[in-house]
Amino acid sequence: MRYAHRHARLHEEEEKIVASTVPPVRIAAVPSAHPYVTAVADPASMRLLADPPPPGAPEGQWWPPQVLLPAWLRENADDFDLVHVHFGIESYSPAELAETVAALRALGRPLVYTVHDLENPQLLSQDAHRESLAVLAEAADELITLTGTAADEVQALTRRRPAVIPHPTLLDDAERPTGTSDGVTRVGVHLRDLRPNIDGVGTTATLVRAVADLRAQGARVEGVVRMNDRVRDAEAAASIDLLARDAEGVTVERGERLDDDALSRWLADLDACLLPYRHGTQSGWAELCYDLAVPVVGTRVGHIAAQHPDDFHRFDVGEPLSLARAIVDATDAAWSTPGSAARAAEVERRRVDRLAEREAVRAAHLALYRRAMAKEEAA
């Protein structure tokens, strides 16, 4: 056994030496400054180029993404090995994206496309988005999506089967909040800035009625609806305030956009998190809730339920009975209670599993990048 252990250590050292002699893959990501994008990029084997600043844009704004401009690609071709598109394609028309594809082909640089959004959460009409998706999906050297059910839909739309690589944790190995509880089941929904795919009015109305029904049955439950100070739909915000004004057990919070740490603390205080989407595909919000062991209650939108099926509880907007049942089911597990020993143990178990999963996700991306580059070299 002593010699086997020594052999394993030597093998690990050999792998480190080989890895250190292979230059990192240089990725022009769209965008680069996004938590998901940095999470999937192993800093030991990948290098993300900084987002080129758009002319006249405020500091830190990456859109419209300059990487997708043929002129930028030609001027910076020596600085990247491949382009990986994640978000931001709504900035350009399908015809403009076809020019992006043509420029990459002329330069001999691969295109990788992760289909996060079969439906764009920033848009109401999806026609142009589907056209853009088709342009990129047809041209991409490699396609990725996050769940098997989303892959089925991508294949049905594009006749190409994407690789399925799950969404990794966005939290590092820091201590994670486990929340506090005052003995009341707390169900929260964050409507953010009321972007187009958020059904703030319908979700709030359903929550108000579900909380009333549960309290009438003797349940100690309360709902909290949070919105940013600055919203895109002031009329909807006013309706939400009106719905909750006289609703017993439901309050509305307004405040500045929460940073990552503050958001984690807000979520950790919940017994369950209600997702308010009217359309969408997959959800980083659901991933953060999973990391914090906060059960998710959501509608039958997209493929969010497939991300963590055991933690997802369905309801239908406009049907408070379905929401009341989902809340009861979601908060049945002992670990759903904020501040409990069971919640703390579940958060720690998931932390260990998710950090290991992140390494596998990074390795899968690296293998896919190497494959894409080999394809382009052979073409």
The arithmetic mean of pLDDT across residues 302-312, rounded, is 97
- pLDDT at position 14 over 70: no
Who contacts 163 (Cβ-Cβ below 8 Å, separation ≥6)? Answer: 142, 143, 144, 145, 364, 368
The arithmetic mean of pLDDT across residues 43-48, rounded, is 98
The arithmetic mean of pLDDT across residues 5-25, rounded, is 58
Model confidence over 214-239: pLDDT tens digits? Answer: 999 999 999 999 999 999 999 999 99
Residue carrying the six token digits 């295109």 = 111
The arithmetic mean of pLDDT across residues 70-96, rounded, is 98
Asked whether 375 and 189 are in contact (CB, 8 A), the reply is no
Q: At what angle do helices 127-139 and 148-158 cross, to 10 degrees?
A: 90
* C-alpha closest to that of 31 among 50, 12, 47: 50
- pLDDT at position 379 over 80: no
Model confidence over 235-284: pLDDT tens digits? Answer: 999 999 999 998 999 999 999 999 999 999 999 999 999 999 999 999 99
Model confidence over 161-177: pLDDT tens digits? Answer: 999 999 999 999 888 99
- pLDDT at position 51 over 70: yes
Residue 4 confidence (pLDDT): 47
Token pair for 34: 């996004």
Residue 78 confidence (pLDDT): 98
Model confidence over 148-164: pLDDT tens digits? Answer: 999 999 999 999 999 99
d(CA 351, CA 293): 10
Considering the entire predicted model, what is its pTM? 0.92
